[in-house]
Amino acid sequence: MTRPRGQNTPLWRRARTISGLILFVYVATHLLNHAVGILSIELLQESGTWFKRVWHSPPATAALYGGFAIHLIVALFAIYRRDSLRDMRRAEIAQLALGLTIPVFLINHTVGTRVLDEFFGADPSYLYVQLTVWKFVPHYALNQTVLLLAAWIHGCIGLHLWLRYKPEYRRLLPLWLVLAVIVPTLSLAGHVASGMEVIRLAEDRAWLANTVASFELPRGADLKQALFVVDAAEYGYYGLVVMAFAARSVRLFLLKRSEPDVTLTYHTGQKVGHRAGASILETSQLAGIPHASVCGGRGRCSTCRVRIGAGLRSLPPPSELEARVLHRVGAPDNVRLACQTYPETDIEVTPLLPPTQASVEDTGARPDYLAGQERDIVVLFADIRGFTKLTEQRLPYDTVFILNRYFSEMGHAIEAAGGRIDKFIGDGIMALFGIDRGIETGARNAIAAARGMGENLKRLNESLAPDLSEPLRIGIGIHGGPAIVGELGYRATRGLTAVGDTVNTASRLEALTKEHGVQLILSEAVIAAAGMEMENGESVEISARGREERVHVRLIENAAELPDPHRAD
């Protein structure tokens, strides 16, 4: 059984976006118009006249009704098309629930205003609406409030899901959040203020009678016809929603009974039957295999990307949308978006991002080495000497205070020199240099960092002198060479790090500073990579535990006395 691909076509997505934007502009201007009610019902009436001139014009009417129809059709088809509702994110669930709720409250409001105006010759002004919801049918005030908030929140969620991958939008996110709160707040304030004013005016029976008569509301057969329109619209809408869910159930039932067309083999060795017309992402979700997808399979985010093994050449080429996203993240030729790839033969796939950790930040360009690469880098380890003895007689608060001051000073020196702090381990620090810019730059930056750490330690000891029985002493080990670089870890602890012999050697050099009574042990490999001629310290060969070959190093008593590696740049 072949699945429909409709919602993944560029035309379908464009129709959904444009129709949503039209409806959002209408809702936003409608709510802002409500806010005028804070001043007076008269000004609200006047602004409503201008609002009506714009949105009741033939072009705007066609755009509004057409946009609503398209948006509703797209939403119902998305329900029919979705294989699993369990994999929906909370924002998507909220958006869908609000979207299905809006017509329930909108039908009465639309028939009671626009339909009466265009088909029955009534004058449904703001005065008429406020009298209806605050005087004649008070529970409609709650309905109007729910409709107002549901429409606005639904639109804001849609805009956020659409724009969240754009750096410009994320940069101004606090501003958009403020606007998202202010607009409905002012609208509700205007709605309530004008409603209270109308209730006060309605205490004058003569005014009330004359005002109601001016509305020219339908009576008798016309009224029955208007009420019939309300009932027909409500039952028609309920029928469409039920049909969408029922059709989806039938489609999934038939899908499960049909034989799979091809087989997807995952990196874990798991094999899953795949049916023609489905994307890799849909097959994963239907089989219950966790798969990252921040945008929900719309081809916007790139977090569902997979590396294709066997079967790569049999895949259809990427669409314009997929190619654009893959180019943005710098993906190689064997990487595809799972939500946009429709296999027709057996293939092997490896998801590249963990499903529980993928985020919007993963949608931009990401360095290749994050997935794992061997690179020539420089690694620095530092540790406080005798820290256990130093803290034995101290309160926990004092220990934490001293450590945080130390980490702050050392961290600043490392980052100022262009290093990347890998982790803090107890009272130790691990930092990486040259991942992005090469080992030559990394070597110079690491030496500059050690120099800065020595200088900062001196200032820190002067600052903490009244609180310390003896100055803080540190040991630093620096070594360079090939290491495996990539993102490692689990959930919140996942991050960029390095492993390998170079890392182990740097750690051993740091440990040997205590034995040799120096502040820094710097490997000659790093000095050579930096292109420096260094006279500081004694040049020796030492044995590092766990390593057969001896390491040629420089023993530096005071790192602050190192020459500036950038002075010749």
Where residue 315 sits, what CATH number does that domain have?
A: 3.10.20.30
From 210, 231, 253, the end of a domain falls on 253
347: tokens are 């293939």
Half-sphere exposure of residue 303: CA atoms within 13 angstroms, side-chain side: 21
Domain limits for position 351: 262-363
In this prediction, residue 3 carries a pLDDT of 47
Query: What is the DSSP secondary-structure string of 384-406?
Result: EETHHHHHTTS-HHHHHHHHHHH
> Residue 502 in contact with residue 417, Cβ under 8 Å?
no
Q: Are residues 85 and 37 in the same domain?
A: yes
With respect to residue 569, please indicate whether it lies within any of the assigned structural domains.
no
Residues 503 and 543 in one domain: yes
Same domain, 428 and 496: yes
Whether 322 and 471 map to the same domain: the answer is: no
Q: Is residue 566 part of a domain?
A: no
For residue 31, count other CB atoms closer than 10 A to its CB. Answer: 21
Q: What is the pLDDT of residue 542?
A: 83
Token digits of residue 508:
């051993």
For residues 73 and 159, membership in a common domain is answered with yes
DSSP, residue by residue, 344-397: SS-EEEEESS-TTT--GGGGS---GGGG-EEEEEEEEEEEEETHHHHHTTS-HH
Rounded Cα–Cα distance for residues 112 and 134 (Å): 15
pTM beyond 0.75: no
**1 domain-assigned:** no
Shared domain check, 277 and 295: yes
Q: Is residue 225 in some structural domain?
A: yes
Pair (29, 163) in one structural domain? yes
Residue 323: inside a domain, yes or no? yes
Domain-embedded: residue 451: yes
β-pairing, 538-542 vs 520-523, is unpaired
One pLDDT digit (tens) per residue for the chain, 569 residues:
444 444 455 677 788 889 999 999 999 999 999 999 999 988 988 888 888 889 889 999 999 999 999 999 988 988 888 777 776 778 888 889 999 999 988 888 887 777 776 677 676 778 888 888 888 888 888 888 888 899 999 999 999 888 887 778 888 888 999 999 999 999 999 999 998 998 999 888 898 888 888 877 767 677 688 778 878 888 999 999 999 999 988 988 877 776 667 888 888 788 888 777 778 888 887 777 777 777 767 777 777 888 888 888 888 888 888 888 888 777 888 888 888 888 888 888 888 877 655 555 554 555 666 666 788 999 999 999 887 777 676 777 778 888 889 999 999 999 999 999 998 888 899 999 998 888 999 999 999 999 999 999 999 999 888 877 788 899 999 999 998 888 777 666 677 888 888 999 999 999 999 989 999 999 999 999 998 888 888 888 887 776 667 889 999 999 998 988 877 44
* Domain shared by 56 and 147, yes or no: yes
Is the same domain home to 388 and 352? no
Question: Are residues 184 and 267 part of one domain?
Answer: no
Is residue 434 located within the same domain as residue 546?
yes
Residue 429 included in any domain: yes
Q: Are 131 and 202 in contact (CB under 8 A)?
A: yes
- Within a domain: 163: yes
Q: Do residues 233 and 142 make contact, with C-beta atoms less than 8 angstroms apart?
A: no
Q: Name the token pair of 467.
A: 């609180």
Query: Which pLDDT belongs to residue 2?
Result: 45
Q: Do residues 134 and 40 both lie within one domain?
A: yes
User: Looking at 253, 271, 306, which one is the last position of a domain?
Assistant: 253
Task: Give the burial string for 429-454 (b: 16+ CB within 10 Å, else e).
Answer: bbbbbbbeeebbbbbbbbbbbbbbbb
DSSP label at 424? Answer: E
- Name, in order, each residue with C-beta under 8 angstroms of 180's C-beta and a sequence gap of 6 or more: 152, 156
In this prediction, residue 135 carries a pLDDT of: 84
Two tokens at 211? 């005002």
Domain end residue (candidates: 345, 363, 381): 363
DSSP 438: -
From residue 548, how far is each of 186, 498, 543 by CA, in Å? 74, 21, 8
Which CATH number belongs to the domain containing residue 432 in this structure?
Answer: 3.30.70.1230
Count: domains in the chain? 3
Show the 3-state SS of 229-276.
HHHHHHHHHHHHHHHHHHHHHHHHHHHHHCCCCEEEEECCCCEEEECC
pLDDT of residue 365: 53
d(CA 184, CA 188): 6
